[in-house]
Chain A
């Protein structure tokens, strides 16, 4: 038994690019309404693992998976991918607002899911921007292009855009790696406020960030065949202060990676 409410269960999950195994036998349980950080050296499959949860890996030709991934006891590979991606939002490494206005960026998801009512859209846009801590900075000019914002604002716009479809899970792929320290801090604060409503999984190669901002941490690294594997998973405090695995200790004390 685990001491938390489980949102996502991964059981003996493997991912292959053609004949190359990129993830090997990953089993982990992602806790609900908390922040789970995925850390590990470059190329260990952190991002690939994250992109499993909204099935973005399927966009790459030749990708094959086996094993089990369940969200709320529902197999994600047999559920409808469009509905899955509505429930599992994603924020990317580089801010990627559409070349549209701020309003249209945030309204994009709800519109794609069929919402046409102007007043309802305006309400969603305002609430999402507020939740993403961007509303006060942009409320006077929602017609402005999303690309005209600063990098940090663009990333918060992308978070607002993801929140607008009311997801249950929010995946973040190194969301602050392209930002300056102040913008990074803002994003981290924001993530803390979001965890009451959402299950957050964040990939980072910044260990301070993982230590500061997460409740649980999963440490990945490559095995001898260069396949990514989960070495250790646990409460962040425990993983950083008394790691159970020698390799985890070597990594967090900076001996490799």
Chain B
């Protein structure tokens, strides 16, 4: 083989490349349209900037309003004494903080394993059945539609369902257990959806790499897929924690509203958000309601910060 034939037609290509000259005539119209494109870009940027500004301003106004009205009531005693009840809304909010924490823990303990498990099934096992006919694929498609629908159902529906099933039929009464079970129903779709989406983002090549080494499907899921998806799964759980802390309707009809300190899971209670609602509607202590709101906002921010840090650290170890 002669050197010139190493690449077929290579010599002709080189010749053509060397003979090309810049085409200067066609530049004028490009300049003209450039000014127009810059103007459009300027307008678009301004609009986007304005949208961002309005959103942040709205959020700031709410937070500032709540803080200004409520901050005066917040002190050590407010956080550490229980509410005394009654029309004047005397006392602090200690029991509601404990109830909220307890409720969040119990709800997540119930919902997270169920939700993550369901998502693994849908993403890793049921996905194989897509486009296949049969009883199990049919049930899976119903489950998938169900999850999507549940995510959009108003929370009071979950509350009434929880009241009917857990409070009345199962005799758990107005209690933290009933509230947690109803709350779990509320956040299950959130956990399933976020986990499932995260599992789909784990590269196929990781799964293939693991299977090609003779790992079983379960070993692949447990050792490669889940660790990779962990930050996303945690994000889903954090979103759910926020949902439980801020939820009122579900717990209004399942938790009982007692402001006493809960001593067991079968005791009634009230969360911070519920306490805020009672203070604002049943008492004259509007400032105390706002103070409770400040604590709610702060705890939400804190939880997000903590979990973001955990999630980032996990990512760093792996990445």
B interface residues with partner A (beta carbon < 8 Å): 8, 128, 130-132, 203, 205-206, 208-216, 219, 223-224, 227-228, 318-319
Q: Find the residue from B211, B212, B223 having the highest chain A CB count within 10 A.
A: B212
Checking A85, A100, A158, A254 against B8 with a beta-carbon cut-off of 8 angstroms, the contacting residue is A254
0 or 1 for each of A127-168: is its CB under 8 Å from B? (1 = yes): 000000000000000000101000000000010011001000
A96 contacts B214, C-beta separation under 8 Å: no
Asked if A175 lies at the interface with its beta carbon under 8 angstroms from chain B, I say no
B131 contacts A82, C-beta separation under 8 Å: no
What's the Cα separation between A69 and B203 when bound, in Å?
30
Shortest distance between the CB of A242 and any CB in chain B (Å): 15
B209 contacts A165, C-beta separation under 8 Å: no
Q: Find the residue from A54, A56, A99 having the highest chain B CB count within 10 A.
A: A99
What's the Cα separation between A254 and B5 when bound, in Å?
11
Q: Number of contacting residues on A, CB 8 A?
A: 31
What's the Cα separation between A94 and B204 when bound, in Å?
12
What's the Cα separation between A94 and B211 when bound, in Å?
16
CB contact under 8 A between A162 and B205, given known A99-B227, A108-B223: no
CB contact under 8 A between A61 and B212, given known A99-B319, A100-B318: no
Residues 18 to 72 of chain A near chain B (Cβ within 8 Å): 54, 56, 59, 61-62
Checking B8, B131, B205, B214 against A109 with a beta-carbon cut-off of 8 angstroms, the contacting residue is B214
CB contact under 8 A between A56 and B208, given known A108-B223, A145-B318, A147-B319: yes
Asked if A119 lies at the interface with its beta carbon under 8 angstroms from chain B, I say no
B223 contacts A89, C-beta separation under 8 Å: no
CB contact under 8 A between A112 and B318, given known A96-B203, A98-B224: no
A86 contacts B214, C-beta separation under 8 Å: yes
A99 contacts B318, C-beta separation under 8 Å: yes
A82 contacts B208, C-beta separation under 8 Å: no
Checking B8, B213, B223, B224 against A86 with a beta-carbon cut-off of 8 angstroms, the contacting residue is B213
What's the Cα separation between A98 and B214 when bound, in Å?
15
Asked if A113 lies at the interface with its beta carbon under 8 angstroms from chain B, I say yes
A98: which B residues are within 8 A, CB to CB? 206, 209-210, 224, 228
Q: A82-B215, A90-B212 are in contact. List 11 more A-B contacts (CB 8 A).
A: A61-B131, A62-B131, A92-B209, A96-B205, A96-B206, A112-B223, A147-B319, A158-B209, A161-B209, A161-B213, A162-B213
